[in-house]
């Protein structure tokens, strides 16, 4: 089955802005996507949550765009938009009817070039309140809500930039000042720290002319500070265990492992391994824990890719009532151990490959996703062509490579086991959480401190 | 040199829109009544297919509520020919992802598959829809998972709020009062027998349609449908309109007490409109201005002005009969009462104050402008065509849709608001810490208050 090749151009403006254009005239739509090479890994202690708070500020207006007007202009032009912040990035994107492309480019240029003109204490305070409510809504007021933060904290040492949550702490959010915001903008929101991808119904030469016109005069920052060394030992070095009593009806066991960094071929093998483990009804964990032994309500496992030293592998199993969480934990880990001991069968491999191929076909059929991938691969690896080579990498993974990476990652001295138990005596003991459908999406959902239900 | 030298002040004007039409769609009806609806989309290699049965959870007997949803889930648990694992593996070998679910108005069993493997995938789809075996052991497991999920839902503030809200606004005679997946009492009764009876009663070519979109030939797909479904019989041809009687008279407040909650989940509303209402387009535009757009009145006020919430929204959930109208937000506990006051103020203003031409054109331009974006890939095309079938709408609804939206006037919006926005007779449902908000709520005198404290659940359902 042929997955179409994405043809694209790749060039830089004199001010350092990297521009990637991929024409596709199938539908009259075009995606504009900017990755700024700044994420929560750039935050220092005392200033956590800053990259994400800043993402909100980016929607508060610039020299020629009023407060919240960015959203209004895009929507009134028939477009959709959003922005997200995560460990390694902050990205902003619009999908527009193709005749509105120039407007989207102008909007992005105006805030890259003149955000500080519109910045004031009132807007900062307002968005600080919004973000604090986002934190309450996404984490603090949810059953099991802190799991991702606890796991990041265990897998990455305290000195490491992935140790703290992207959403930040209430204290640090309170402490964020206008001076901090200005400094952050001047340091990171500069053309030589950004990749702009335009994908869809557009003309390359016209796009380049518009980008020169709107972005050309924005000055670069020659002094973007380098990140500290983020390298890590391949394993945590010990098993870490934590038990939390919470207002949850069903116990849940969360797992985390330190995994190879994004870009490492071994992570490709690990991604395929997660398909074999929890990718469908016949996957190993689902089959044993949910369907046959019926000790778990749901199971999941998935890698969250990260470039700085190590990725994190996340897993979970929600424990059926009346079942000892230790039994669920043992069965879960036993399945991981089996994968580490014996290479999967050819039939399993073929099914995983067929699904991976179809998934890729689905992702790449949308201009928005294609633009995001191009920006991502250019930002993180300086290699946008990975949009075309990543599938081949997945398909070339062998059964033995899966076994080997499982053996390297799923080790007792490389794992975190976080168990949520219903709090004894709590009015909520015997009560519960998000539905099973959401549970399986947790790894993906955790990737976006999203802005705006636009 | 000013830091803004070279920044272009002038906002660009739009280019010439490339004309867009909803893709041509080919409809045939097989002799047994099954409709076959094919939408060729050149270059779309990943094809979407969906078999839709126009009978849903609202149509099932109240005492076995949840059977329709469970039966849809049970479709992929095994057939007369193979068990669930063999079935899943067969789909996987084709690179096909299969999903089956039921809602209030319909059941949809669908898949996404590369075009070259459409026929074998449809073959499997036909097997799943026509010959499920509902093995009793798997049905028991699905039932227990659903019961556990209901327990989990009570502890999640958002799900608890939705459940308390619908049970507050619908009368006992309405199916919409309960979750579509049933209640603990009714789900506990479900066995293979109930699922088989739902299947034999409503699954069949009468009242069903097969939708396929992507890089396909209509004649070829119709041929496949004829071969796979031509000898299918049964089904339920009629379209019923469920009872959507309201339980809301005078305004009232119901608080689900959740000690220690750092936010209050707020739901304000009542039964709204059915999808097939002639006023649909005006109501949709009105709701977009009230609480749909990013710069809607609710968002501008509660988020961008006050900072009370991450998001405030309002909208009509349209079904065959009037689904809920709800205004929603999760707000900081301390600002619960001011938030409710602002919600009510905005609902009143929607009725009293005509929208501006800017508000109207923003909403219209958004709805009309995103139309081509919505249909970039086959999945949403199949979804929207299924909606026409499910709600018994004219075949040309998607063709006429944009002009119907553009025809809405300021007067239409105000009339829609006066007819469908009722701040004086709404339910206000809160999930939050009553110890912290109770006194303020009482003092505000918004409406009579009832407080509910959930009992702890005794136990869930193990293996």
Domains in chain B with CATH codes: 26-229 (3.30.830.10), 252-453 (3.30.830.10)
Contact yes or no for B457 and A247 at CB 8 A: no
Residues A78, B373: C-beta atoms closer than 8 Å: yes
For the segment(s) A240-343+398-445, the CATH number from 3.30.950.10, 3.30.830.10, 2.102.10.10, 3.30.200.20 is: 3.30.830.10
Cβ pair B46:A116 closer than 8 A: no
Q: Is A29 on the interface with B (CB under 8 A)?
A: yes
Q: Do A68 and B300 touch (CB under 8 A)?
A: yes
Residue A127 neighbours by CB under 8 Å, 6+ apart: A53, A56, A57, A60, B307
pLDDT given for residue A4 in this prediction: 79
pLDDT score of A51: 94
- Architecture of the domain made up of A9-215: 2-Layer Sandwich (3.30)
Residue of chain A whose Cα is closest to the Cα of B77 = A281
Alpha-carbon distance of A408 to A258, in angstroms, equals: 10
Q: Tell me which residues of chain B, numbers 257 to 276, contact chain A at a CB-CB cutoff of 8 Å.
A: 259, 261-263
Q: Does A103 sit within 8 Å of B372, measured CB to CB? A: no
In terms of Cα–Cα distance, which of A296, A320, A250, A430 is closest to B459?
Answer: A430
CA A187 to chain centre: 23
B 365-384 near A (Cβ less than 8 A): 365-366, 368-373, 375-377
* DSSP strand pairing (B252-257 vs B427-432): parallel
What is the distance between the alpha carbons of residues B296 and B301, in angstroms, rounded to a whole number?
Answer: 8
Whole-number pLDDT of residue B3: 56
Q: How many residues does chain A have?
A: 454
B451 near A CB under 8 A: no
CA distance, residue B220 to nearest chain A CA (Å) = 19
pTM for this model (two decimals): 0.93
Query: 3-state DSSP call for residue A5?
Result: coil
Structure token digits, residue B46: 């990943």
pLDDT on residue B103: 97
Contact B93 A137 (CB under 8 A): no
Q: Which of residues 38-97 of A touch B (CB under 8 A)?
A: 63-64, 67-69, 71-73, 75-80, 95, 97
Task: Give tens-digit pLDDT for B18-39.
Answer: 999 999 999 999 999 999 999 9
Question: Is B1's Cβ below 8 Å from some Cβ in A?
Answer: no
Say whether B44 and A365 touch across the interface (CB within 8 A): yes
pLDDT, residue A3, reads 72
CATH topology match: A9-215 vs A240-343+398-445: yes
According to DSSP, the residues that pair with A18 across neighbouring strands are: A12, A195
Task: Locate A44 and state its tokens.
Answer: 């220092």
Determine whether the interchain pair B46/A429 forms a contact, defined as Cβ–Cβ distance below 8 Å: no
Contacts of A77 in chain B (CB under 8 A): 14, 365, 369
Give the closest of B14, B262, B366 to A140, CB-based: B262
Is the Cβ–Cβ distance between A380 and A88 less than 8 Å?
A: yes
A64 vs B9, B144, B303: nearest CB: B9
Question: What is the secondary structure of A177-192 as a DSSP string?
Answer: -HHHHHHHHHHHSSGG
| Contact residues on chain A for B154, CB-CB shorter than 8 A | 249, 431-432
Is A381 in the B-facing interface, judged by CB distances under 8 Å? no
Is the Cβ pair A281, B76 closer than 8 Å?
yes
- Give me the residues of chain A with pLDDT under 70, please: 1-2, 425-454
User: Where in chain A are the domains?
Assistant: 9-215, 240-343+398-445
pLDDT at residue A2, as a whole number? 63
Q: Kindly give the parts of chain B with pLDDT less than 50.
A: 1, 458-460, 463
Q: CB-CB: which of B92, B94, B151 is closest to A431?
A: B151
All residues of chain B having their beta carbon less than 8 Å from the beta carbon of residue A367 are 376
């Amino acid at each position: 089955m042929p997955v179409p090749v994405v043809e694209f151009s790749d060039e830089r403006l004199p001010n350092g802005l990297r521009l990637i254009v991929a024409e596709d005239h199938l539908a009259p739509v075009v995606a504009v996507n900017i990755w700024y090479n700044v994420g929560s890994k750039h935050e220092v202690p005392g200033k956590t949550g800053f990259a994400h708070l800043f993402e909100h500020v980016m929607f508060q207006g610039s020299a020629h765009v009023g407060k919240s007007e960015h959203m209004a202009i895009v929507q009134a032009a028939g477009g959709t938009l959003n922005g997200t912040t995560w460990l390694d990035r902050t990205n902003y994107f619009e999908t527009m009817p193709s005749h509105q492309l120039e407007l989207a480019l102008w909007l992005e240029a105006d805030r890259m070039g003149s955000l500080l003109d519109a910045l004031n204490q009132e807007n900062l305070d307002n968005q600080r309140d919004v973000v604090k409510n986002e934190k309450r809504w996404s984490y603090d007021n949810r059953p099991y809500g802190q799991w991702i933060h606890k796991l990041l904290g265990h897998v990455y040492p305290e000195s490491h930039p992935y140790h703290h949550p992207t959403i930040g702490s209430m204290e640090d959010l309170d402490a964020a000042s206008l001076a901090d915001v200005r400094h952050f903008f001047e340091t990171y929101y500069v053309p030589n720290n950004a990749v702009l991808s335009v994908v869809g119904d557009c003309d390359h030469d016209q796009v380049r002319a518009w980008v020169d016109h709107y972005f050309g005069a924005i000055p670069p920052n020659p002094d973007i500070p380098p990140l500290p060394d983020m390298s890590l030992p391949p394993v945590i070095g010990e098993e870490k265990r934590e038990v939390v009593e919470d207002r949850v009806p069903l116990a849940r066991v969360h797992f985390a492992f330190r995994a190879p960094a994004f870009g490492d071929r071994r992570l490709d093998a690990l991604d395929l391994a997660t398909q074999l483990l929890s990718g469908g009804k016949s996957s190993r964990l689902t089959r044993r824990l949910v369907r046959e032994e019926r000790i778990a309500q749901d199971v999941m496992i998935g890698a969250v890719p990260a470039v700085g030293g190590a990725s994190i592998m996340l897993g979970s199993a929600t424990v059926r009532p009346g079942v000892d969480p230790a039994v669920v934990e043992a069965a879960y880990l036993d399945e991981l151990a089996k994968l580490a001991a014996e290479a999967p069968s050819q039939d399993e491999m073929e099914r995983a490959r067929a699904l991976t191929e179809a998934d890729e076909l689905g992702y790449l059929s949308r201009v928005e996703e294609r633009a995001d991938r191009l920006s991502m691969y250019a930002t993180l690896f300086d290699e946008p062509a990975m949009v075309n080579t990543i599938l081949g990498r997945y398909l070339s993974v062998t059964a033995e490579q899966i076994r080997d990476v499982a053996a390297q990652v799923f080790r007792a001295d490389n794992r975190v086991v976080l168990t949520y138990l219903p709090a004894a005596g709590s009015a909520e003991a015997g009560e519960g959480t998000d539905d099973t459908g959401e549970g399986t999406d947790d790894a993906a959902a955790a990737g976006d401190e999203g802005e705006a239900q636009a | 040199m000013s830091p803004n030298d070279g920044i272009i002040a002038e906002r660009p004007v739009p280019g010439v829109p490339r004309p867009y039409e909803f893709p041509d769609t080919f409809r045939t009806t097989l002799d047994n009544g099954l409709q076959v609806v094919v939408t060729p989309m050149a270059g779309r290699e990943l094809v979407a297919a969906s078999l839709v049965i126009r009978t849903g959870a609202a149509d099932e007997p109240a005492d076995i509520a949840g059977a329709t949803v469970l039966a849809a889930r049970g479709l992929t648990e095994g057939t007369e020919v193979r068990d669930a694992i063999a079935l899943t593996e067969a789909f996987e070998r084709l690179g096909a992802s299969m999903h089956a679910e039921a809602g209030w108005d319909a059941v949809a069993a669908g898949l996404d598959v590369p075009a070259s493997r459409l026929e074998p995938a449809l073959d499997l789809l036909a097997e799943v829809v026509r010959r499920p075996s509902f093995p009793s052991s798997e049905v028991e497991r699905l039932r227990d998972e659903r019961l556990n999920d209901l327990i989990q839902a009570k502890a999640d503030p958002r799900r608890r709020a939705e459940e308390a809200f619908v049970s507050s606004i619908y009368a006992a005679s309405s199916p919409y009062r309960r979750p579509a997946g049933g209640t603990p009492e009714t789900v506990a009764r479900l066995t293979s027998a109930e699922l088989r009876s739902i299947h034999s009663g409503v699954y069949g070519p009468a009242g069903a349609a097969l939708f396929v979109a992507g890089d396909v030939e209509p004649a070829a797909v119709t041929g496949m449908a004829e071969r796979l479904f031509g000898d299918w019989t049964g089904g339920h041809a009629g379209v019923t309109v469920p009872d959507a009687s309201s339980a809301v008279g005078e305004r009232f407040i119901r608080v689900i007490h959740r000690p220690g909650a750092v936010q209050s989940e707020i739901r304000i509303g009542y039964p709204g409109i059915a999808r097939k209402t002639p006023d649909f387009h005006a109501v949709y535009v009105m709701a977009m201005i009230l609480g749909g757009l990013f710069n809607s009145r609710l968002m501008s006020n509660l988020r961008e002005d006050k900072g009370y919430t991450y998001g405030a929204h309002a909208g009509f959930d349209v079904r065959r009969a009037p689904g809920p109208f709800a205004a929603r937000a999760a707000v900081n506990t301390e600002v619960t009462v001011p938030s409710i006051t602002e919600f009510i103020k905005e609902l009143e203003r929607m009725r009293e104050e005509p929208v501006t031409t800017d508000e109207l054109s923003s909403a219209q331009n958004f709805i009309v402008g995103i139309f081509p974006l919505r249909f970039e890939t086959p999945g949403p095309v199949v979804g929207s065509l299924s909606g026409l079938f499910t709600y018994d709408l004219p075949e040309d609804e998607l063709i006429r849709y944009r002009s119907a939206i553009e025809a809405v006037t300021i007067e239409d919006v105000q009339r829609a608001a006066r007819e469908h926005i009722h701040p004086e007779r709404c339910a206000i449902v809160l999930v939050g810490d009553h110890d912290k908000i109770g006194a303020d709520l009482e003092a505000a005198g918004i409406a009579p208050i009832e407080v509910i404290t959930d009992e702890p659940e005794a136990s869930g359902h193990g293996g």
